[in-house]
Chains A and B, each alone.
Chain A
Amino acid sequence: TQLLEQSPQFLSIQEGENLTVYCNSSSVFSSLQWYRQEPGEGPVLLVTVVTGGEVKKLKRLTFQFGDARKDSSLHITAAQPGDTGLYLCAGDPFGAQKLVFGQGTRLTINP
């Protein structure tokens, strides 16, 4: 069974600070995605990483896929209150368009 462990589960920081969220597994994934979910809504895709060691940037968000394709990280620079939400990593273990989700990191950015 492929499991994804996210850490931390909860994070509350002040506006302007930097943060990193981790997504770890003992299993290899063909690809890994990061989603953001707001209350009362479904998750929305932020990025997909496919190649080991790949780094993708989305404005102030930087995503990295581990060299062995077992882990990933999300780094946010100069966090803003609008970044508040539940961040979910999700891996596709077999390339079958079927996702295994981590338990999520609930991020709160205080003004």
Chain B
Amino acid sequence: EAGVAQSPRYKIIEKRQSVAFWCNPISGHATLYWYQQILGQGPKLLIQFQNNGVVDDSQLPKDRFSAERLKGVDSTLKIQPAKLEDSAVYLCASSLGTGEQFFGPGTRLTVL
């Protein structure tokens, strides 16, 4: 069974530029999560989707971050414009709703 796929794996941009991350969850997983993991910290939930609907985006900085899951499968997370403090690993996870979350390898973003 294929795991959660994310791309790109690494991205370096300058502040005020835009960036987008892509996630393909495990087939059949209705729930999809985006997390931000700053160096030395645990992951922080940004947004949770159930199929193509948003369940929780309370910690998503909506002035600059947006996410969508149009067909209830793939998802994209966008940052526009990026700030220095957005440097982090962005993790995507998916779940069948049984409690276990399966994580992708993450995208390491560096904002200069």
Q: Do A and B come from one complex?
A: yes
A42 touches B56 (CB 8 A): no
Give Cα A52 to B42, complex, Å: 24
Give Cα A103 to B103, complex, Å: 17
Interface status of B61 (Cβ within 8 A of chain A): no
B43 touches A101 (CB 8 A): yes
Contact residues on B (Cβ < 8 Å of other chain), bracket: 20 to 34
B41 touches A42 (CB 8 A): no
Contacting residues, chain B, for A96 (C-beta < 8 A): 55-56
B40 touches A45 (CB 8 A): no
Contacting residues, chain B, for A44 (C-beta < 8 A): 103
Contacting residues, chain B, for A43 (C-beta < 8 A): 43, 91, 103
Contacting residues, chain A, for B55 (C-beta < 8 A): 96, 98
Interface status of B79 (Cβ within 8 A of chain A): no
Tell me the count of chain A residues lying within 8 A, CB to CB, of chain B: 23
A41-B103, A41-B106, A102-B42 known, 8 other contacts, Cβ within 8 Å: A42-B105, A44-B103, A45-B100, A48-B99, A88-B43, A96-B56, A97-B95, A103-B40
B residues lining the A interface (CB < 8 Å): 4, 31, 40-45, 48, 55-56, 91, 93, 95, 97, 99-106
A residues lining the B interface (CB < 8 Å): 4, 6, 31, 33, 40-45, 48, 88, 90, 92, 96-104
